[in-house]
Chains A and B, each alone.
Chain A
Amino acid sequence: MDEQLQILPFIIVFLPAISAVFQTLFTLKEGGLSAGIAIGAVGISFLCSAVLAFIIYSGGIPDYNYSITWLTAGDLKLEIGYQMDKLTLLMLLVVTFVSGLIHIYSIGYMHNDAAEGRYFAGLNFFTTAMLGIVLSNNFVMLFIFWELVGLSSYLLIGHWFERPAAANAAKKAFITNRLGDFGFILGIILVWGFIGSVRFDEISAKISRNPEIFGVYGTVAGLLIFCGAVGKSAQFPLHVWLPDAMEGPTPVSALIHAATMVAAGVFMLCRVFFIFSAKAAVPQSLAMLAVSPLSVIAWIGAITALISALIAIQQNDIKRILAYSTLSQLGYMVMAVGLSGPSPAMFHLITHAFFKALLFLCAGSVIVALHHNQDIWTMGGLKSKMPITFITFLIALLTICGIPPFSGFYSKDSIIALAQHKSTALFVISIIVAFLTALYMSRLLVVVFFGKNRSHHSAASKESSYVMTVPLIILAIMSIISGFIGIDATLNSIFGVAVKDGEKLNLFYPFSHSPLAAWLGLGFSIFGIVIAFLLYSSKDKDPITERLGIIATAMKNRFYFDEIYDGIIELTHDALSKTSAFIDRWIVSGFVIKGIHGTVEICGRALRLVQTGNVQTYVFILTAGAAVLIYYLIRH
């Protein structure tokens, strides 16, 4: 192995970090220079990834692994290393490509911001954290970068920290993610406890040799690892942070929703999919308790997809609608993982990275044009004012709705087809979600771009500058073509090897092999688009809010998840905290200490006769003691 090839992946991952540190230390006050450095760093990472991809995909060298010791203690050996294979490379390319475009777009979006330098350093750091997750070949390194992704999201969501909403959203995102990480780290330690290693290849080998290696903890291990993904990929019940994260700058939302952060959860599940092939060794009599973690994962995904699609219908903030659509699409991906389909999940992850980045950047373009107004009912008629934004948004819309030949159709269909073969209930849910997706996305399109101008801002809006529209066009092209350039075939070959069961491979049939799923999905999507055009064309307020009544109110209020959680936390964790503080204040230091105080006070009065209260005397006695000591030392 060439030494350059061993170093190259480290350059890819750490170059943006070095650039971020450099910007923080030296160019924080010079936004333009920071932007240049940041884009340069990500650009070089992208080029290095492309070179590496060319070498490996052309068969020049086989997959390889490389690790350096991070620490050792007893029989625990932790390493920083990478696993260079086709999955890693695919993700490296997607992450650096999308992230690079978002960096470029940010020049336009953030050029008036006072803290542009801090912003670009944050973007760079975010990219490094995500690339670290992609490259990791062991759980601990994955967890380290996992936490750093949480930190970067905190810094970027809270970029405008003077705004209370942004500061609260950043805090909420970090703490909610920490809840997931709590389960994740326990899962990692549990796995290590049974296997004695945290490396993916070693764990995978041991599980395939003995699927019951975790004993009765087989299901628990899988679910704890999944906890991490629940937090990071914002699955029910920890989905509440993602919509609030919209308080960050729009390109940050694009980055979080497309290439980094939320993608990390799904990617991690696919990367460590072998963990779910472990079986719980429970006695025959308790066999009913041996639930596969995968079925839980599938249902969590489906519930997330459905709930967030329903909520999205009644949101009025352009970014929040997109946020709930991300939740819904992530639900699809997680469901696919739960149905033993890492390949469709990754396929949808990649196409989603392109079209969701595109959707957010289009939304950003609209928001800039409307002077940072985000309520869709103040927009309207932007079709002719912002033609490039409109056309690229339309492409993204058709992609997310799953209209062929746009990429979203292929990736979503592969998930629906998988559901059709595995579970009727999940199949029905995924069709309903496809319908709802088309409905709320078309609602957004109709209200924002069609009809008449609803405010003077929308009347006066104009197309954004090239630095913003060129990334839109590139992403639009990727959204169109990424469905049929062989990404699915590559993924099938990657996971086809990993998945042992021959029958599972047969699920990855192309479109023609599962006509029911394809036709139903397509039919319901078109139905949703038509309904949206009928309902919302030239309306000035939402017509279904009144018709659905209380249901619409519940949807608008996000099914009251935040309020319910606040109540639960207040009653449990906060109550424990308050009780502890009460005990500490009134019993420990109030009663016990004061009691001792009283007793000692009396003795103290007696002893006061001996004390001089003079600092110099104390100091003198102390130093005299030290002097005596030194004298003794010298003498002996």
Chain B
Amino acid sequence: MVNWIFLIPIIVAVALLFLPRRWGTVAWFATFIAMFVSMVLAISVFFKFDPSVTGIQFEHKSIWVQALGINFHTGVDGINVGLLLMGAIVAFTASCLSWDIKTREKEFSILLLLMSGGILGAFASFDMFFFYFFHELALIPTFIMIGVWGQGENKNYATFQITIYLTIGALITLFGLILLYVKSNANTFDIVDLSNTLAKRQIESQGQSLIFPILMVGFGTLVSLFPFYSWAPPGYAAAPAPAAMMHAGVIKKFGLLGFLRICVPLLPQGAIEWSHILAVLCVGNMLYCGWVAMQQKNLNLLFGFSSVAHMGFAFLGIASLTVIGVTGAVVIMIAHGLLAALSFGLSGWYQKQTGTLEFDKMGGFLKRLPFMGTALLIAMFAGCGLPGFANFVGELLVFFGAWKDFSFYVVLGAWGALVIGAIYMLSAARKILHGELKPEFSRIRDAQTFWRKIPYSILIATLLFFGIFPVILTKRIEPSVKIILKAVEKPENQAQMKPLAPTKIKKTK
């Protein structure tokens, strides 16, 4: 069942190759149906998933290349079940919005399907080879989509930059993975087999402290970890809305999943050693990129920088190496995926309606656009961590989880989330939505039909659903996080150095 979630888009993509070029609408419709089926499957997998059972469910395993130990191993555990749901929902909404693409519809549909199928396949994979392969399958269409259907003066430069950055990031990751494969000496790419082997006999600590930073840089670049983020804002600003939604929302989460699937459980000592560096880099995301976002004058660039800033919270959660913090990081991955898709979907609509995303040229839209204006306001409030949205839950968990070891970074992160986030989001809302409507926009029209509203409504509803009932997510995520962190045992002597550690209280009692 899980396999069909990502195989349906890929199969439809292949089938569309044989479609005549003129039938663009048919291609769009096929994409829409494929994504819809995929989403329905993902929803049913999410709710059929049994949180009380540990380990992989809906598992499928077949041997592919025995000599290298490559298996086609898919399934869901607590971590990727939510990500698959998020990815499928975002893919469906992106397919709805790809209706607005009116040039080379067939090719766009094929690329969008490959992108969605690829990244959902990567999420579902429990084998390093397929994990990596499916991600590449999703990544390459991104470059083509920005290059061909992109917008703005800097389109070519942005395409170039994002391609170079992400290709290098992916290559470093590949290098790290191969190094891990060699050093583990287990002759398998299967993550489950690898972790079973490494649980008995770890890679020697020198190897761990070498591979971890390689993967940290590789995966980090793919997730726009400071200081490897500068591809993201211009890239998203140039991308067509469905591509930006898919990449910022879904594909980017691959790197974070890589941390959770590979870096932390397979390289526990490396993780402990490097978690402090990771925490320092997070501050670059949370504070520095937030400050940069405050100075942006274009809605897409603002969303781009805010998306980079939000990744800092997920990284802080991972760096904390606590059950609370990592659970929070997974919640952020899901919440941010939905939010990024909503943000870029909205900015795509505004771009099409108003012809500009510059704050100076916009203003007073809420009066004329009750639905789209409110949706934008909702996206902005979710972006500054308002309770009620899933983003708040994730950030809250990260702050609680990281408090023990990284209390100072939590202070900085809370400043980034509560204050900087509110400043840039509300300033943008003030400039775009509030104030007087400019005369040139007096004829602008709100989204009228049900079909125009549905993608935004789905994303907002999901954000609210998980924000109001987070236990539905956390009860699935938490058991799997505990398994991941089993290998990570922190040295005892650290507790004494931290004055704020709750463990110390137990001693005084």
Name A residues whose Cβ lies closer than 8 Å to a Cβ of B.
Answer: 28, 69-76, 140, 143-145, 147-148, 151, 154, 158, 161-162, 164, 167-168, 170-171, 174-175, 178-179, 181-182, 185-186, 189-190, 192-196, 210, 213, 215-217, 574, 576-581, 584, 588-589, 592-593, 596-597, 600, 615-616, 618-620, 622-623, 625-627, 629-630, 632-633, 636
Q: In the complex, which of the residues B133, B296, B436, B471 has the most CB atoms of chain A within 10 Å of its own CB atom?
A: B471
**A interface majority secondary structure:** helix
Contacts A73-B397, A73-B474, A193-B403 given; does A622 touch B140 at CB 8 Å: yes
Chain A binder among B262-270, B420-428, B487-495:
B420-428
- B157-192 contact mask (Cβ, 8 Å, vs A): 1 or 0: 100110010000000000000000000000000000
Return chain A residues, CB-CB under 8 Å to B381.
Answer: 151
The tally of residues in B whose CB lies under 8 Å from a CB in A reads 90
Q: Is B484 an interface residue (CB 8 A)?
A: no
**Would you call B435 and A580 a contact (CB within 8 A)?**
no
Given known contacts A192-B400, A615-B144, A147 and B386 CB-to-CB distance under 8 angstroms: yes
Please determine whether A171 and B427 come into contact, CB atoms closer than 8 angstroms: yes
Report yes or no: A189 in contact with B114, Cβ–Cβ below 8 A. Answer: no
Which residues B315-365 have CB closer than 8 A to chain A?
A: 322-324, 327-328, 364
Tell yes or no: B199 within 8 A of A by CB. Answer: no
Find out whether the CB atom of B14 lies under 8 angstroms from the CB atom of A626: yes
* B471 with A70: CB separation less than 8 A: yes
Partner of B291 from the list A72, A580, A592 (CB cut-off 8 Å) is A580
Chain B residues with Cβ below 8 Å from A76 are: 324, 397, 400-401
Q: Which residue of B lies closest to A114 (CB)?
A: B367
For A147, A181, A193, A625, which residue has the most chain B Cβ atoms within 10 angstroms? A193
Inter-chain contacts of A69 with B (CB < 8 A) = 471
Question: Is B52 part of the contact surface with A, judged by Cβ < 8 Å?
Answer: no
Question: Is the beta-carbon distance between B434 and A162 smaller than 8 angstroms?
Answer: yes
Q: Are B434 and A161 in contact (CB under 8 A)?
A: yes
Pairs of residues from A and B, 4 with the lowest C-beta to C-beta distance, nearest first:
A74-B323, A167-B434, A581-B295, A580-B291
For B62, give its contact among A140, A627, A636 (CB under 8 Å).
Answer: A636
Which residues of the other chain, B, contact A185 by a CB distance below 8 angstroms? Answer: 399, 414, 418
Counting residue pairs across A and B whose Cβ atoms lie within 8 Å, the total is 196
Query: Do A194 and B418 touch (CB < 8 A)?
Result: no
B63 proximal to A (CB < 8 A): yes
CA distance A272 to B72 in the complex (A): 56
Collect the chain B residues with CB atoms within 8 Å of residue A171's CB. Answer: 426-427, 429-430
Q: Does the CB pair B422–A161 fall under 8 Å?
A: no
User: Does A627 contact B434, Cβ atoms closer than 8 Å?
Assistant: no
Q: Give CA–CA (A185, B410) in the complex, Å.
A: 10
Bound together, the chains give a CA A581 to CA B470 distance in angstroms of 35
Per the 8 Å Cβ criterion, residues 367-420 of B in contact with A are 367, 370, 381, 384, 386-388, 392-393, 396-397, 399-401, 403-404, 407, 410-411, 414-415, 418-419
The answer to whether the Cβ of B240 comes within 8 Å of any Cβ in the partner chain is no
**Does B410 lie within 8 Å of A189, measured CB to CB?**
yes
- Find residues 433-457 in chain B having any chain A CB closer than 8 Å to their own CB: 433-437
| Chain A residues in 8 Å Cβ range of B157 | 597
Known interface pairs A74-B401, A182-B418. Does A588 touch B500 (Cβ–Cβ under 8 Å)? no
Please name the residue on chain A nearest to B157 by beta carbon. A597
The reply to whether A174 and B430 contact each other, CB–CB distance below 8 Å, is: no
Instruction: Report chain A residues within 8 Å CB of B13.
Output: 623, 626
B475 interface residue (CB < 8 Å to A): yes
The chain A residue with its CB closest to the CB of B407 is: A193
Contact across chains for B502 and A74 when beta carbons are under 8 A apart: no
In the complex, chain B residues whose CB is within 8 Å of the CB of A588: 227, 230
Inter-chain CA distance A252–B11, complex, in Å, is: 57
**Is there a chain A Cβ closer than 8 Å to B64's Cβ?**
yes
- Please indicate the chain A residues that have their CB under 8 angstroms from the CB of B486 in the complex: none
Q: Please state if B17 and A623 are interface contacts (CB–CB under 8 Å).
A: yes
Quick one: which of A28, A178, A579, A616 contacts B419, CB cutoff 8 A? A178
Closest residue of chain B to A155 (Cβ to Cβ) is: B377
CB distance from B365 to the nearest CB of A (A): 10
B505 within 8 A of A: yes
Interface: B104 (CB within 8 A): yes
Chain B CB count within 10 A is highest, among A28, A151, A622, A636, for A622
**B110 close to A619 (CB less than 8 A):** yes
- Say yes or no: is B101 at the interface (Cβ < 8 Å to chain A): no
